[in-house]
């Protein structure tokens, strides 16, 4: 019997069920404990970056190589003949999918990955489509949360910073709401969580609350998920004011729960001061490393039947 993700496209977090998310997390843990350097031997994975994104690309390509597969592709579609000759994405996808056993892609336009999945003969993994989805970031976040807490169930999770434009925050909220987590949204008014996410939470009767500072809730949390606030979105006085409420410093962590872990999708600017790095709560660099395991897990599941099959 196939695992439920075998030969499937991974486009958007809301497409995945709780069971599928758990399977990916379990598989990531299994691969982290027991590397599988031969798993994708003789398989070719295309790495198609129609827009540059160095971290995401390196993480994907490392994942393929660690599983023994080989990578073809391009790092900046705007500079390739695909971009220059004005070929449609549909045509590019038909050709690329005929060369490879799976492909992951990053594209500047929303919906590109969904469209690609409809014309590809092999599984497509969305590595970010415009401001829309970036599901593998969410999967590595989930894996990291599971790894640090031993469960995804009923956690108290705070999101801080730019909750309006942060697509990773949106999809992580959607994913964690399948596990009965409770949310704390800490953001300046101008960067509050968008209405559609709030409406979804209301519909599903998920508990959440809005706050003006990290200190109000930090002692109750299991996970504190920080995000970058782009300075450009504020004038100087606003930004200074904001810093005092939305920047995490080590002295704010004196009475937190032992199991608290602080996450951040990186790169950070100054929303976490460096004195936090040496506390036992900082986990953002491990989180970045976990990106490779989460992507390995995903490739292993969609390209082979080794995991989760009965």
- CA–CA gap between residue 286 and residue 305 (Å, rounded): 28
In SS3 terms, 155-186 reads as CEEEEECCCCCCHHHHHHHHHHHHHCCEEEEE
Residue 4 vs 111, nearer CB to other proteins: 111
Q: Which is nearer to other proteins, 88 or 305 (CB)?
A: 88
Q: Which of 81, 99, 110, 279 binds other proteins (CB under 8 A)?
A: 110
DSSP assignment, residue 275? G
- 56 counts as catalytic: yes
What is the size of the binding site for other proteins (CB under 8 A)?
A: 20
CA-CA distance, 302 to 61, in Å (whole number)?
16
Q: Does 275 bind other proteins (CB under 8 A)?
A: no
Q: Which residue is catalytic, options 18, 41, 55, 84?
A: 55
The nearer residue to other proteins, 76 or 200, going by C-beta atoms, is 200
Does residue 108 belong to the site contacting other proteins (CB under 8 A)? Answer: yes
15 Cβ contact list (under 8 Å, min separation 6): none
At residue 121, φ and ψ (nearest 5 deg) are: -90, -5
**Residue 18: exposed, middle, or buried by beta-carbon count in 10 A (0-12, 13-18, 19+)?**
exposed
2, 54, 131, 207: residue in contact with other proteins (rule CB under 8 A): 131
Q: Which is nearer to other proteins, 199 or 275 (CB)?
A: 199
Whichever of 90 and 309 has its CB closer to other proteins, that residue is 90
Site for other proteins, residues 71 to 90, rule: CB under 8 A: 88-90
Residue with tokens 């949106």: 170
Please report whether residue 65 would count as binding other proteins according to CB under 8 A. no
Report the nearest approach of other proteins to the CB of residue 53 (Å).
16
| Cα–Cα distance, 104 to 282 (Å, whole number) | 30
Q: Tell the smallest beta-carbon distance from residue 209 to other proteins (Å).
A: 23
- Diameter of the chain measured on Cα atoms: 60
Q: Are 268 and 291 contacting, i.e. CB atoms less than 8 angstroms apart? A: no
Contacts of other proteins in 174-203 (CB under 8 A): 196, 199
Q: Does 35 bind other proteins (CB under 8 A)?
A: no
Tell me if 227 contacts other proteins by CB under 8 A.
Answer: no
115 sits near other proteins (criterion: CB under 8 A)? yes
Question: ∠ CA 263-268-274 to the nearest 5 degrees?
Answer: 80
114 forms part of the interface with other proteins (CB under 8 A): yes
Q: Site residues (CB under 8 A) for other proteins?
A: 12, 88-90, 107-112, 114-115, 118, 129-133, 196, 199
- Give catalytic residue positions: 55-56, 85, 106, 134
């Amino acid at each position: 019997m196939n695992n439920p993700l075998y030969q499937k496209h991974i486009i958007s977090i809301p497409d995945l069920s709780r069971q599928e998310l758990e399977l990916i997390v379990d598989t990531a843990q299994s691969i982290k404990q027991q590397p599988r350097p031969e798993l994708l031997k003789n398989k070719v994975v295309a790495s198609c970056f129609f827009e540059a994104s160095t971290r995401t690309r390196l993480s994907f390509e490392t994942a393929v190589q660690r599983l023994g597969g080989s990578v073809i592709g391009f790092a900046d579609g705007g500079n390739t003949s695909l971009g220059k000759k004005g070929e449609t994405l549909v045509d590019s996808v038909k050709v690329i999918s005929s060369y490879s056993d799976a492909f992951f892609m990053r594209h500047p336009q929303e919906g590109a990955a969904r469209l690609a999945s409809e014309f590809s003969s092999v599984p497509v993994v969305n590595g970010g489509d415009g401001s829309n989805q970036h599901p593998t970031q969410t999967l590595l976040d989930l894996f990291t949360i599971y790894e640090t807490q031993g469960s995804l169930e009923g956690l108290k999770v705070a999101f801080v910073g730019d909750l309006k434009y942060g697509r990773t925050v949106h999809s992580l909220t959607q994913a964690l709401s399948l596990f009965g987590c409770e949310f704390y949204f800490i953001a300046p008014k101008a960067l509050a969580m968008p209405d559609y996410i709030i409406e979804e939470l209301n519909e599903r009767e998920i508990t959440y609350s809005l706050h003006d500072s990290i200190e109000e809730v930090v002692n109750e949390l299991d996970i504190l998920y920080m995000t970058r606030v782009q300075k450009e979105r504020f004038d100087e006085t606003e930004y200074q004011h904001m810093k005092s409420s939305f920047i995490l410093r080590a002295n704010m962590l004196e009475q937190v729960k032992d199991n608290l872990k602080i996450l951040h999708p990186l790169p950070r600017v100054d929303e976490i001061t460096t004195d936090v790095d040496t506390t036992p709560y900082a986990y953002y660099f491990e989180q970045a490393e976990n990106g490779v395991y989460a992507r390995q897990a995903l490739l292993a599941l969609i390209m082979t039947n080794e995991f989760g099959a009965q």
